[in-house]
Amino acid sequence: MAQLYFYYSAMNAGKSTTLLQSAYNYRERGMQVEIFTARLDDRYGIGKVSSRIGLQAEAHLYSPETNLLDLLGNIQKTDSHPGIDCILIDEAQFLTKEQVKQITHIVDEFDIPVLAYGLRTDFQGETFQGSHYLLAWADKLVELKTVCHCGRKANFVVRRDSSGHPIRDGEQVQVGGNDSYESMCRKHFRELIW
């Protein structure tokens, strides 16, 4: 029986690397894997999932308007493989509530496992919509860990301006990497943001 997995963490915990390793493992066994990533994050190319250690793979793009059930149906119509064995979703924090419902439908009705990878919280310590519903509805929750500069587990992300000062307000979504964000433990996040 298929399940919905949510692999979550702060930035720089290896979510994309873990996703790409999972894709490799399925494909090595002759299984069909489809990878999805958010259209808004094109730092490493359009339609690609890339890890900081240099691994990458082609991916289908989704935006808030994308119906994942329709997209899956279109992929199955054009694919020569008899069926999809697993769906991997990068940047899952950007999914909408409706899209998380759609992936639960894929798991429950089509018996296809879905492995979603994303941030748990934004730079203000608030959950993203996708993360909120994945935390509530996933069958399995798996925390990927990274460390704060102090050595404690980092489970928050601080957004910084071009001068390195912490930002406390602004739009929830601003695509960026190590130049804009830093993962921190709650203590250091609290000292800067709360």
pTM value?
0.89
34 catalytic residue (yes or no): no
What is the per-residue pLDDT across 95-153, written as a single tens digit (0 to 9) for each? 999 999 999 999 999 999 999 999 999 999 999 999 999 999 999 999 999 999 999 99
**pLDDT score of 35 more than 60:** yes
Task: Find the catalytic residue in 34, 58, 65, 91.
Answer: 91
For residue 155, the SS3 value is coil
For residue 31, the SS3 value is coil
Domain boundaries, given as residue ranges, for the chain: 4-145
Q: 4-145: what fold?
A: Rossmann fold (3.40.50)
Q: Distance between CA 99 and CA 87 in Å, rounded?
A: 13
